[in-house]
Amino acid sequence: MIGISKKYIYALLLLLFPLQISAGEELSSHIINSLLSGTKKSPYPADIHKNFVIISIDSLQFGEVNMGTTALVNFKKKDVTKTTFTKKNNKWNQATEATVPIQRSEQNEFIDFILRFSSNKEYQINHTVFPFPINTLKGKEQTKRKLIMPRDWNHLSLSESYPQILLFKTNTDGNNRKMLIFKNKKIKEEYNFIRINKQWYLIEKYEHE
């Protein structure tokens, strides 16, 4: 566990609790809808249109109003496909695409964390805040909450379970990340991470009924 007070941790949890993907963020909505609809115009592989993982920060704000960038990380191929979108006549269109090794990714710090977190059990325990809350939601209402201690922890192999993840590039690096897991085109799980003293930690999970 990390050396900060429980009071501070719970304050952080309260700050992160209301975070959701904003429907008002046009590009993120465009991309998610293209994945959910399986449209042929989607720049992403057809095999992830039903089941996919998105990682964002608390606000999907882009640096420019008419431009945005995503990164599709492929842990099996160890590469990242960067796609740039531009907005013209109120429509988002794919502008450019380039694939680079993971090591050259602009968001390599968090990707490296996910890889190490997934492969090293001791590292994962030390970078998870305990007692770890797992919250069950039905719609927007919380129906259940349980707290997990290290002795009951089941190792998470995130990079193996979700070999492709989609990252949104934003105009701020941010100190938190939300991993949203879509299964059969519906959000089923959420993991929240936070960076403290330049180290990433998993702080909570949401399960959707």
21: its two tokens: 């993907």
**Which comes out higher in pLDDT, residue 182 or 130?**
130
Residue 209 CA to residue 199 CA, distance in Å, equals 31
Q: Can you tell me whether residue 14 is helix, strand or coil?
A: helix
Interatomic CA distance for residues 197 and 146, integer angstroms: 27
Q: Which position has the higher pLDDT, 176 or 135? A: 135
d(CA 157, CA 43): 27
What is the C-alpha separation between 163 and 161, in angstroms, rounded? 6
CA dihedral 66, 86, 170, 156 (to 10 degrees): 150
pLDDT band (50, 70, 90) for residue 86: confident
Helix (H) / strand (E) element for 109: namely helix 108-119
Q: Note the pLDDT tens digit of each residue in 162-197.
A: 999 988 765 556 788 889 898 887 889 999 999 999
pLDDT (0 to 100) of residue 204: 95
pLDDT surpassing 70 at residue 128 = yes
pLDDT score, position 67: 64
Binned at pLDDT 50, 70 and 90, residue 147 comes out as very high
Q: In the prediction, which pLDDT does 24 show?
A: 32
Q: Read off the pLDDT of residues 96-121 as tens digits, 9 standing for 90 and up.
A: 889 989 887 777 788 899 999 999 99
The structure tokens listed for 24 are 């008002």
Q: What is the pLDDT of residue 109?
A: 84
99: how many CB neighbours lie within 10 A of its CB?
12
Pairing of strands 52-56, 164-168: parallel
- pLDDT 10s digits, 16-49: 333 333 323 566 677 777 777 776 667 777 777 7
pLDDT for residue 192: 93
| Domain spans, the chain | 6-208
Return the percentage of the chain with pLDDT > 70, whole number.
Answer: 77
